[in-house]
């Protein structure tokens, strides 16, 4: 007797792959990932992200460019920052940064979330030998020199684009900045967005507002 062919839809397959990436994670970490995805799925629409307070720093402010790895092993993309959410590592639905990857035509697509806390903020309340964590993962330390900002801890979560290097890897070999120049002219076309850039202990002190007429 012939057995029926079982076909899996793309969405269940994606769910299986995400579950596989979380093997060994605590149940709380899985819940936090679900909260992160539910709280940010609306930001596939970059206009909605702008209305929620996310914006790309204009040139020549730090982090205004499409970020690639220095060893050409992948890229991150464009960083849209919400100053009110920086230093928040307790609410996974409110990441400090939305990472948009350009496609070959220069169109931007939500690819990852990034959670950021400045080292001065963390160490103000924690011992010097401690590291912040999210989703059961240690955040990565960065001295901030490349991006011209104070030292910080960060964690990327590639919820919306597959990353062969891992769900929490900083760079994604499937992302390229080759078409970034085509994105630059339209990437800030998100209405009005307030971007907080701070060099102080609790938040960046310079407020940059982007308004597109």
pLDDT value of position 205: 30
Q: Is 150 within 8 Å of 119 (Cβ atoms)?
A: yes
Average pLDDT along the chain: 78
Q: How far apart are the first and last CA of the chain?
A: 67
Q: Is the pLDDT at 68 greater than 70, yes or no?
A: yes
Q: Is the pLDDT at 13 greater than 70, yes or no?
A: no
Q: Assign 187 a pLDDT band (cuts: 50, 70, 90).
A: very low
pTM reported for the whole predicted model: 0.74
Pairing of strands 192-198, 204-211: antiparallel
Would you list the domain boundaries of the chain?
Answer: 10-211
pLDDT value of position 201: 27
Q: Is the pLDDT at 141 greater than 50, yes or no?
A: yes
Q: What is the pLDDT of residues 89-128, one digit of tens each?
A: 999 999 999 999 999 888 999 999 999 999 999 999 999 9
Three-class HEC string of 102-155: ECCCCCEEEEEEEEEEEHHHHHHHCCCCCCCEECCEECEEECCCCCCCCCEEEE
pLDDT value of position 212: 26
Q: Is the pLDDT at 84 greater than 90, yes or no?
A: yes
pLDDT value of position 138: 97
The mean pLDDT of 48-59, rounded to a whole number, is 92
Percentage, residues of the chain above pLDDT 70: 71
- 210 DSSP 8-state letter: E
Find how far residue 189's CA is from the centre of its chain. Answer: 19
Tokens, residue 16: 């299986």
Radius of gyration for the alpha carbons in the chain, expressed in angstroms and rounded: 18
């Amino acid at each position: 007797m012939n057995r029926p062919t079982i076909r899996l839809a793309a969405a269940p397959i994606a769910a299986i792959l995400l579950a596989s990436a979380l093997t060994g994670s605590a149940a709380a970490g899985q819940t936090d990932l679900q909260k992160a995805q539910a709280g940010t799925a609306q930001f596939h629409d970059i206009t909605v992200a702008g209305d929620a307070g996310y914006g790309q720093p204009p040139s020549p402010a730090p982090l205004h460019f499409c970020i690639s790895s220095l060893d050409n092993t992948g890229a991150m993309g464009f960083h849209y920052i919400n100053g009110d959410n920086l230093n928040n590592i307790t609410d996974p639905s409110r990441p400090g940064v939305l990472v948009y990857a350009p496609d070959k035509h220069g169109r931007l697509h939500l690819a990852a979330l990034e959670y950021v806390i400045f080292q001065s903020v963390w160490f103000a309340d924690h011992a010097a030998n401690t590291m912040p964590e999210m989703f059961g993962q240690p955040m990565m330390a960065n001295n901030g020199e490349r991006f011209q900002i104070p030292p910080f801890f960060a964690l990327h979560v590639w919820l919306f684009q597959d990353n062969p290097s891992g769900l929490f890897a900083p760079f994604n070999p499937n992302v390229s900045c080759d078409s970034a120049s085509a994105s630059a002219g339209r990437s800030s076309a998100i209405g009005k967005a307030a971007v907080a850039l701070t060099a102080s202990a609790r938040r960046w002190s310079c407020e940059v507002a982007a308004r597109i007429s």
